[in-house]
A and B are shown apart, each in its own frame.
Chain A
Amino acid sequence: DVKVTQSSRYLVKRTGEKVFLECVQDMDHENMFWYRQDPGLGLRLIYFSYDVKMKEKGDIPEGYSVSREKKERFSLILESASTNQTSMYLCASRPWSGTDLDEQYFGPGTRLTVT
């Protein structure tokens, strides 16, 4: 089974702190994604990566950056956390198999609270 893990289930940080959210997948997937999930807004794509050191902006990249130094690991960085970044963050991965039907596999999520 594909396993996508996230470093923390719950995280509390202070305004202005630099925050790292880590995601690791164990299935050698090329594509990795970071989403933000808010009630009533669904999932919104922050960034995705299709290869090591490659990244693409999603719909809401402002205030975030990402890092992918190794294929299995994709990090989301909040350079200076703000209260409006309090949210659930979901990581996902997907193989580059050439089949558009391939699903994305999701991690358990990190609930971040910025105070």
Chain B
Amino acid sequence: AQTVTQSQPEMSVQEAETVTLSCTYDTSESDYYLFWYKQPPSRQMILVIRQEAYKQQNATENRFSVNFQKAAKSFSLKISDSQLGDAAMYFCAYRSRGGSEKLVFGKGTKLTVNP
């Protein structure tokens, strides 16, 4: 069974600075998908960024980018120019390719952005 590990329960960053959230996963599969979701306080969880394992190029979405290291089974999220609105719980998630609907989530990292 796949597992997802987020080793940082809490992180903090100064506004306008850059922060990296870590995620590692364990799988024997060669093809899969990885996601970062954001859950702001008292608000709905939304997708931040996604990555297909067979694509070597790291995904980027505006200020959000990932460092995907397939051999190391690592999928970190970098937030550049941090804003107060980035404060949230961030969850890393894994999905197998080919029919599985199940997302496997990490335990989350709480990000605080200091003004």
Interface residues of A, Cβ cutoff 8 Å to B:
4, 31, 33, 40-45, 48, 50, 56, 58, 90, 92, 94, 100-101, 103-104, 106-109
Asked whether, in the complex, the Cβ of B50 is within 8 Å of the Cβ of A101, the reply is yes
Would you call the interface of chain A mostly helix, strand, loop, or mixed? strand
Can you report 5 A-B residue pairs in the complex whose CB atoms are below 8 A from each other?
A31-B101, A42-B106, A100-B97, A103-B50, A106-B44
Contacts of B86 in A (CB 8 A): none
Q: Which of A4, A40, A45, A106 contacts B102 (CB 8 A)?
A: A45
Bound Cα distance A47, B9 (Å): 26
State whether A41 and B44 are in contact (beta carbons under 8 Å apart), knowing that A50-B101, A101-B52 are contacts in the complex: no
Residues of B in contact, count (CB < 8 Å): 23
State whether A106 and B46 are in contact (beta carbons under 8 Å apart), knowing that A40-B107, A42-B106, A100-B95 are contacts in the complex: yes
A6: nearest residue on chain B (CB-CB)? B44
